[in-house]
Structure 1
Amino acid sequence: MARIELETLILAPPAACYALALNVQAHLDSTLQTGEKVLAGPANGQLALGDVVTWEARHLGFRQRLTVRITAASPPHHFRDELVRGAFKTLRHDHYFEAVPGGTMMRDVFEFCSPAGVVGRWFDRLFLTRYLSNFLRLRNAMLKQQLEQRP
């Protein structure tokens, strides 16, 4: 299984970071580059424990559909979303929000595995890890910008 860990310092309290990370519209706004949209599940407002959402977006030139469920929630410090159905064999994304002086350290732990066995593991490590790291960095930068521009 491939693993990505990213940290982003945000000058906002953990509760605000947690809430924005679970906000459907903020998610859509932070993924404009992939044309993400909601096909099924909550299409606006806050996601919560047990919610299931099917997202559609263009990744690597292909239209992808991923259905995820919020499987863990400990506001305002952690939540997890996990793949129910989609292009991966497994996908688990943990979001952590730790209070630090002046704000929050937002940490993503993103674990995934392609369904194609040995070839998939090679693809994950050599290409997909870089692509998904860049995608998460861009998303986090957008969330950071939204949070730090709030009055």
Structure 2
Amino acid sequence: MTTINLITKINAPKKIVFDLSRNIDVHQNSASKTNEKAIAGITFGLINLNETVTWKGKHFGIYLTHTSKITEMKLYDYFVDEMVNGNFKSFKHEHSFKEKNGKTVMIDNLMYETPFGIFGKFFDKLILKNHMTKFLTTRNAVLKKLAENQQ
């Protein structure tokens, strides 16, 4: 299993950051390089507990779909999305938010497994982990900019 941990410090209250993090429209904006679009389930606005969204985006030159469900949520503290259908063997993304003095620390813990045995592991080490890290880092930069501009 591969794990990616990111910490992003944002000069905004965690309620703003939390809501931007689960906003479908914001995600589509942050994933414009992969032309990622919500095509089923919740396709705009805020996603909530037990709701799903299906994404379609172009990764590695081909269009892929990925359906996630929000499996855990405690408003403004954390939420978890897990793959229910897609190209990974497993995929779980934990989003946590901590606030101190009006500033938020956003913590991403992404855990996934690739299919195809040793070939999947090789692809992960060679390309996928770096791709996923850049994807999340870009997303977090957009969230940070939006949240800090709402101040």
With the length of structure 2 as denominator, give the TM-score of the two structures: 0.96
Deviation digits for residues 49-86 of structure 1 (CA, Å, limit 9, x no counterpart): 00011100011111010011000001111000000001
- Which position in structure 1 is the counterpart of 2:134? 134
Alignment gaps of 5+ in structure 2: none
- Which position in structure 2 is the counterpart of 1:79? 79
Paired with 1:47 and 1:11, the residues of 2 have a C-alpha distance of: 23
- Which position in structure 1 is the counterpart of 2:48? 48
Q: Which amino acid aligns with 1:90?
A: S
Which has the higher mean CA deviation after the structures are superposed, 126-135 or 47-56?
A: 126-135
With the length of structure 1 as denominator, give the TM-score of the two structures: 0.96
Alignment gaps of 5+ in structure 1: none
Q: Which structure 1 residue ranges, 4+ long, deviate > 6 Å from structure 2?
A: none
- Which position in structure 1 is the counterpart of 2:91? 91
Question: 1:29-68 to 2 correspondence within 5 Å?
Answer: 29-68=29-68
Identity %: 36
Equivalent pairs counted in the alignment come to 151
Paired with 2:43 and 2:26, the residues of 1 have a C-alpha distance of: 11
- Which position in structure 1 is the counterpart of 2:27? 27
Paired with 2:28 and 2:115, the residues of 1 have a C-alpha distance of: 26
Q: Which amino acid aligns with 1:134?
A: K
Question: 1:7-18 to 2 correspondence within 5 Å?
Answer: 7-18=7-18
> What's the C-alpha RMSD, in Å, of the aligned pairs?
1.0
